[in-house]
Amino acid sequence: MSAPRADAARIAEHVDRLAERHPPIDLATADYAVRDPRAVRERFGLALDYMARVEMEVERNVLELAVLLPEVSESDRRFYADVWSPQEERHGVLLDTLAHYLGMPPVAANTEDVPRSVRMLGLLSHLTPVHEVIRLLYYLTGAATEKAAMMAYASMSEGLAEMGETAIQRTVVDAIKVQEPGHFAFYRLSAQEMVETGALAPWQMHLARLLRSRAYSLVGAKSEEQRTDFGGVIVELGLDEDLERSVRDISRLESQLLWAHDKGMAVPGYALKAFREAAADYRERLVGGQALVPA
Ligand SMILES: [Fe+2]
Ligand SMILES: [Fe+2]
């Protein structure tokens, strides 16, 4: 692997640096002046609504993490409770406020119901060897989620610049975009540290591969409707123009760490299938004539 070696001290330093350099965005710095709200709504309404919901649901993700990782380390706890969630919650507020200025309905987010499947996994997680498998999956899921967010915000930023909507581009989307790579780096370093130090036995790596490939889920998509909405985000943001490349970028870390024995499987088939199906379902919905922007 070309990236430098990860170790616990480097991860702790990274978390300190993020806390220091990236305090949660000051809401007063956002400028919601929009030249053509209708055009922005039509082009980015669906993606904005989806991203705002995912950012706001971080509140529930923190509850889920407490259930899933009862033996959490101080570095992990500090990252998700003190650094990551306060930043993401502000991202949610900024996007929800922008949606309001664009004349969209308030974002409907599930911020408190921890699903039964998570509670079940949480019970198993009290067995330390299982806990460690779940911890690796948490890092890999986090890395894929952050990478997808980075790509989505980059596309939105570019589109808003093209439209001359520079106030919201710079003070909302770019302000958020700049905070996501640090999250990605945390998950990458943490997953690398686990795998490079041989923290998991072969059977644990096998279990991680099995769980990841059988229970792969698209970020923020728990229901059929949400999966189709996710398809809408990738289609509307142009990430499906070269879908295989997008999925390869999003999945690069798990390809390298989980599937190294498969020569780093260029694109995990389960991920590509999930993205393809979501995009196809969205296109079908479009043909059916449903509105792009939630009513
Ligand atoms: Fe975010
Ligand atoms: Fe993030």
Nearest Cα residue to 18 out of 179, 238, 206? 179
Per the CB < 8 A criterion, the answer to whether 47 and 156 are in contact is yes
Report the half-sphere exposure of 187 (CA within 13 A, side-chain side): 25
At residue 291, the pLDDT reads 54
Q: CB–CB of 16/82 below 8 Å?
A: no
Domain count, the chain: 1
Cα separation, 112 vs 98, whole angstroms: 23
Q: Is residue 8 part of a domain?
A: no
Q: Which ligand is nearest to the CA of 92?
A: 1
Do the beta carbons of residue 148 and residue 250 sit within 8 Å? yes
Tell me which ligand sits closest to the C-alpha of residue 176.
1
Is residue 114 a part of any domain in this protein? yes
Q: For the chain, percent helix, then strand, then coil, each to nearest 5?
A: 70, 0, 30
Comparing CA positions, the residue from 148, 98, 114 lying closest to residue 249 is: 148
Q: Considering the entire predicted model, what is its pTM? A: 0.93
Q: How far apart are the C-alpha atoms of 78 and 163, rounded to whole Å?
A: 39
- CA 89 to ligand 1 centroid distance, Å: 8
Distance 179 CA to ligand 1 centre (A): 7
For residues 188 and 253, the answer to whether their CB atoms sit within 8 Å is: yes
Let me know if residue 148 belongs to a domain: yes
Question: Is 51 part of a structural domain of the chain?
Answer: yes
Residue 148: which residues within 8 A CB-CB, separation 6 or more? 219, 250
Contacts of 42 (CB under 8 A, 6+ apart): 292, 293
C-alpha 140/C-alpha 24 separation (Å) is: 24
In terms of C-beta density within 10 A (0-12 exposed, 13-18 middle, 19 or more buried), how is residue 33 classed?
Answer: exposed
Q: Are the C-beta atoms of 92 and 132 separated by less than 8 Å?
A: no
- Residue 2 inside a domain? The answer is no
Ligand nearest to the CA of 172: 1
Which pLDDT belongs to residue 261? 76
Dist CA 96 CA 53 (whole Å): 8
Contact 71, 21 (CB under 8 A): no
pLDDT digits (tens), the chain, 295 positions: 445 567 889 999 999 999 999 999 999 999 999 999 999 999 999 999 999 999 999 999 999 999 999 999 999 999 999 999 999 999 999 999 999 999 999 999 999 899 898 999 999 999 999 999 999 999 999 999 999 999 999 999 999 999 999 999 999 999 999 999 999 999 999 999 999 999 999 999 999 999 999 999 999 998 999 999 999 999 999 999 999 999 999 999 999 999 987 765 689 999 999 999 999 999 999 988 765 555 4
Q: Specify the pLDDT at position 268.
A: 94
In a domain, 102, yes or no: yes
What's the CATH code of the domain at 77?
1.20.1260
Nearest ligand, measured from the Cα of 152: 1
Establish if 294 belongs to a structural domain.
no
- Cα separation of 176 and 25, whole Å? 8
Ligand 1 is an ion; residues with CB less than 5 A from it: 55, 88, 91
Residue 100 near residue 33, CB atoms below 8 Å: no
3 part of a folded domain: no
Note down the domain range covering 187.
Answer: 13-21+32-287
